[in-house]
Chain A
Amino acid sequence: MTRLHRLSPGQFSGLARGAGGVDALAVLRAAQRSKHLLRLRAVIDAAERDPSVWSAASVAGNLAALADVQRRAPLEVRALLEHPQIGAWSAACLARLRSAGLPPVWDLAYLGNIALAAAVRASVDVRVVVAAGPAGVTLPATGRAALPCAGDAVLPAALDDGGVLRFAGGHAVDVHGDPSWLPMRRVYAGEPPLLFAADLDDLDPYRDGYGFPPGDRLDDSAAEGWAAAVREAWTVLCATDRDRASGVAATVRSLIPPGRPAPAAGSSASSRDANGAVALAGPGRGLDVAVTLVHEAQHSALNGLHDLTTLFHPDTGARYCSPWRDDPRPLAGLLHGVYAFLAVAEFWRARHERLGDPAAGFEFARVEAQVLAAHRVLTQAPGLTPSGARVVTGTAETLAGWPRVDVPADARRVAEDLLTEHRIHWRLRNLPPSPATTARLAADWDAAARDATAWATGHRLAAGWDAGNRDAAGWDAGERDAAGWDAGERDAAGWDAADRGAADGDLGEWASEGRDAAGPDAAGSDSRDRADQDAADRDSDSGGGPPAGRFAGDPGDATRGAVLVPRQRSAGGTLLGQAHRRFVTGEPPADPGSVTARLVAGGYATAAHECLRLIAAGAADDDTWVHLAIAEGRRISGGDAALAEMLGGDGRPELLVAVHRRLSAAGRIASPSALAAWLSDAVPA
């Protein structure tokens, strides 16, 4: 009689709080080995139902060989069977056995490659049948015999004399020095007790489930580049948070370089099927790699915990806005985002507090705001099991327990604005009103605009908006009158003095800070921008998940479940780019007169003015509306309440933008303020 894996309350509590100790992570690793064996049993059971496949793939013989090696070298087989790539193989093989396609003889024969890998690692002679590909015969987590092969094939193989691989056709490869033997490279960093060791896997045929293609065999120089970056990352991580470093070392087993087309710099991925493997775009700076390792180790830990005790029910179709992704995310994705970025936030907090890195303060503020926003949604989302609810509670305890971090108010303000920017963009992309609704509201607006009664009763239709369509100056006048914008800002001297003065003051300080702060971090800011802009998973419009059918957005390129999100909005002139220039690299703003530069400087009135000007000129894009939303939401005086409300947290910016665009397309550019006020009356909340 078998028994289940045991997870103590203390181990579970640590994992639920986002930082399982090494003993808890050891339980997860042991559970992965059991999971791989369960899948192997499922593979055997499925293959046995088809005697021809069973025979063609030599399943019985390969199993006997693996069992034989296990008897002679149990520890080697044990270590191999818990390797991430055994998980990837077993998942792929089982999926293909279940599918309606051709019987996966090659995949089944790969069991011989596993047995041969164990034999090589243990220097134990064995006879098997292996799966060969155009590049040769790959032995998981061990190496590749580079044989001349015309294509995929299944062929007899053996290990003799503890180290000579022999293959059908007379090919022999000595794993000790033969140039045809490509050993799996290992990357080491640090030393015990904080030693990081992982495969640099550019060989395994099942390393293709990460949304971007895996790379070919690295040359020695490229491999050393990866090793150097990992060593630098390890130094950074150990200096920042030794406990977190221990967790990464206990979790990450394999690093997978990308192929072409190359993913965006800073991209990384982990797989439920290959727990402990991390695919990442490129070695990059040590700091970036350190953040990536922390992030992906969390995904692996949460996946491992979910394997052990189910955290959420099968997908119900509900989708949520996650602060790190442009596409609607299932509950599991949101939970993963919170869990991963909780650790990333802690990394930045530790770096800020222990090392006094001022740039880390902004990074912490930004990630903390994202995590808090996503966590609020999680607490209300249906679909969690009791174990999943305990993870949400545990992460809440961690968030509540963070000491107040001394981050400048400006950095926190911009961090919140970036969160707003994402939320509004997400709504515009994923919650557009139907064309019928937009058309009806536009028609109603047209009718109301001509309805003297409506005008008189205070719908605040822009005075002369109709004339304004013919004359921009007329619109301007109407807008100012209707929105009360004029009162606070028409006087150029007024907004110049208040807003521009503030902005200029900030810009001056910024430039000064930039000169002082520009240092080692100045180089490579883009990669860090990208790393965190996308190192990511984002909110529902009302706290609950709208049904999947409401979303009009294409989830993107789905490749075996991966949705890659371009690392956008992080270039220099974007809000994130400007923020990084100010708070991370200390560079002066790109285009100081731009809306994004003004937003970062706190010049909200002038930013709003410019956005309204672009809208009036028919030159607005999504960014214009999003930045208007940020600016209006921040203005303490002189702002427009109706506009701020419609574009704000409880509003429906997508509705305002869609109707405005519909009217504009018909040649009628409405006052955003007046339209917002009218919509708030016309459309029930």
Chain B
Amino acid sequence: MSESEPDVPTELVDLSDIDIDTLRTLSDPVFVRSLHHVVRADADAGVVVVAGFDPPRVVVS
């Protein structure tokens, strides 16, 4: 694998250096897109739970 290969595209915004006060003010497009990604993923998983089949929200083995 080449070192020059680009990073894998990710969908979660890095909030490592964000404090609680700042968290409430963020509104840039990267943040908003990531926020929607998390909320949508939760909702998708929730819908399937209601339908009776299990998504990997909970993986029981």
Contacts and interface: CB of A to CB of B under 8 A. Distances in A.
Interface of A: 1-13, 30-31, 33-35, 37-42, 44, 63, 66-67, 70-71, 74, 77, 91, 94-95, 98, 209-211, 267-273, 295-296, 299, 302-303, 306-310, 314-315, 319, 324, 328, 330, 332-333, 336-337, 340, 387, 534-537, 548, 555, 558, 560-565
Given A37-B18, A315-B44, 18 more contacts: A2-B14, A3-B14, A4-B12, A7-B10, A8-B8, A35-B12, A35-B38, A37-B23, A70-B20, A267-B61, A295-B61, A296-B61, A307-B11, A310-B11, A336-B56, A535-B61, A561-B48, A563-B60
B53 A537 contact: no
Contacts of B15: 2, 33-34, 37-38
A211 B58 contact: yes
Nearest to A31: B12
Interface in B21-52: 21, 23-24, 26, 28, 30-31, 34-35, 38-39, 41-46, 48-49, 52
B61 A537 contact: yes
A537 B58 contact: no
- Of the candidates A306, A315, A387, A562, the one having the most CB atoms from chain B within 10 angstroms of its own CB is A315
Contacts of A558: 49, 52-54
Contact of B19 (A71, A98, A267): A71
A309 to B, nearest CB: 5
B19 A70 contact: yes
A1 B30 contact: yes
Nearest to B33: A4
A328 B2 CA distance: 40
A12 B39 CA distance: 24
B35 to A, nearest CB: 5
Contacts of B18: 2, 37
A457 B10 CA distance: 64
A306 B28 CA distance: 23
A4 B60 contact: no
Interface in B1-19: 1-2, 5-16, 18-19
A185 B15 CA distance: 29
A252 B37 CA distance: 25
A8 B7 CA distance: 5
Contacts of B31: 2
28 contacts: A2-B13, A2-B26, A2-B28, A3-B13, A4-B10, A5-B10, A9-B5, A9-B8, A34-B34, A39-B38, A39-B42, A44-B24, A70-B19, A267-B60, A267-B61, A269-B59, A269-B61, A270-B59, A309-B8, A309-B10, A315-B48, A315-B53, A333-B54, A336-B59, A387-B8, A555-B53, A561-B48, A563-B53
Contacts of A332: 55-56
Given A38-B34, A94-B39, A561-B49, A4 B58 contact: no
Nearest to B34: A38
Contacts of B53: 315, 319, 328, 330, 548, 555, 558, 563
- Of the candidates A306, A324, A387, A561, the one having the most CB atoms from chain B within 10 angstroms of its own CB is A561
Contacts of A315: 44, 48, 53, 55
A101 B55 CA distance: 23
A63 B59 contact: no
A581 B28 CA distance: 62
Q: How large is the interface on B (under 10, 10 to 19, 20 to 34, 35 or more residues)?
A: 35 or more
Contacts of B61: 267-269, 295-296, 299, 324, 337, 340, 534-537
Contacts of A337: 61
Given A13-B1, A562-B54, A38 B38 contact: yes
Contacts of A565: 60
A308 B20 contact: no
- Of the candidates B6, B11, B35, B43, the one having the most CB atoms from chain A within 10 angstroms of its own CB is B11
Nearest to B30: A2
Given A41-B35, A270-B59, A535-B61, A34 B1 contact: no
B14 A30 contact: yes
A536 B54 CA distance: 14
A307 B12 contact: yes
A386 to B, nearest CB: 9
Contacts of B10: 4-7, 31, 308-309
A534 B20 CA distance: 42
B59 to A, nearest CB: 5
Contacts of B23: 37, 40-41
Given A41-B24, A67-B19, A95-B42, A555 B54 contact: yes
A658 B31 CA distance: 56
Contacts of B21: 67
A314 B49 CA distance: 12
A74 B59 CA distance: 33
Contacts of A211: 58, 60
A563 B59 CA distance: 8
A303 B56 contact: yes
Contacts of B5: 9
Given A30-B16, A561-B49, A12 B8 contact: yes
A7 B7 contact: yes
A63 B20 contact: yes
A510 to B, nearest CB: 30
A580 B53 CA distance: 32
A163 B12 CA distance: 36
A66 B20 CA distance: 7
B3 to A, nearest CB: 9
A61 to B, nearest CB: 13
A210 B53 CA distance: 14
A548 B51 CA distance: 11
Contact of A210 (B9, B43, B52, B60): B60
Contacts of B35: 38, 41-42
Nearest to B2: A9
A263 to B, nearest CB: 9
A561 B55 contact: yes
A269 B58 contact: yes
Contact of B12 (A10, A41, A302, A308): A308
Contacts of A33: 15-16
B34 A271 contact: no
B57 A4 contact: no
A555 B19 contact: no
A560 B49 contact: yes
